[in-house]
Amino acid sequence: MSLKDQIFIEKYRPKTISDVLGSGKLHLEPYLKSNSLLPHFLFYSKIPGTGKTSLAKAFINDLECDSLILNSSDDRKIEVVREKVKIFATTLSSKQNKKKCVFLDEADGLTKQAQDALRNVMETYSSNCFFILTCNYLNKIIDPLQSRCMKINFADKLDKKEIKEFLKSIVKEECLDEVLNDEDLLKIINMYFPNIRNMVVFLQRVKFNGNLVLEEIKHGDMFSKCWGLLKSKKVGQLRSLIKENNLDVELINKFLLDQTIIEAKELGKNSVVNLIRIIANNERDFAMGVDKELIFICSLFEMITKGFC
Residue 79 backbone dihedrals phi, psi, to 5 degrees: -60, -35
Contact 136, 153 (CB under 8 A): no
Sheet holding 129-135, edge to edge: 67-71, 100-105, 129-135, 40-44, 149-153
Contact 274, 242 (CB under 8 A): no
The pLDDT of residue 216: 64
The pLDDT of residue 167: 96
* pLDDT (tens digit per residue) in 111-133: 999 999 999 999 999 999 999 99
Q: Which residues of the chain fall short of a pLDDT of 50? A: none
Q: Which residues pair with 40 in a beta bridge?
A: 149
| Angle, alpha carbons 7-12-13 (nearest 5°) | 100
Query: In terms of Cα–Cα distance, which of 192, 173, 172, 174 is closest to 182?
Result: 172
- CATH architecture of the domain 3-153 equals 3-Layer(aba) Sandwich (3.40)
Query: What's the predicted TM-score (pTM) here?
Result: 0.73
The pLDDT of residue 169: 95
The pLDDT of residue 222: 81
Burial 181-202 (b: 16+ CB within 10 A, else e): eeebbbbbbbbbbbbbbbbbbb
Query: In terms of Cα–Cα distance, which of 142, 148, 83 is closest to 122?
Result: 148
* pLDDT (tens digit per residue) in 152-189: 988 766 889 999 999 999 999 999 988 888 988 988 88
Residue 125 backbone dihedrals phi, psi, to 5 degrees: -115, 25
The pLDDT of residue 179: 85
Residues 6+ apart with CB under 8 A from 31: 37, 38
Query: In terms of Cα–Cα distance, which of 221, 244, 236, 166 is closest to 199?
Result: 166
Report the 10 Å Cβ neighbour count for 175. Answer: 9
Measured CA to CA, the distance from residue 216 to residue 221 in angstroms comes to: 10
The pLDDT of residue 36: 65
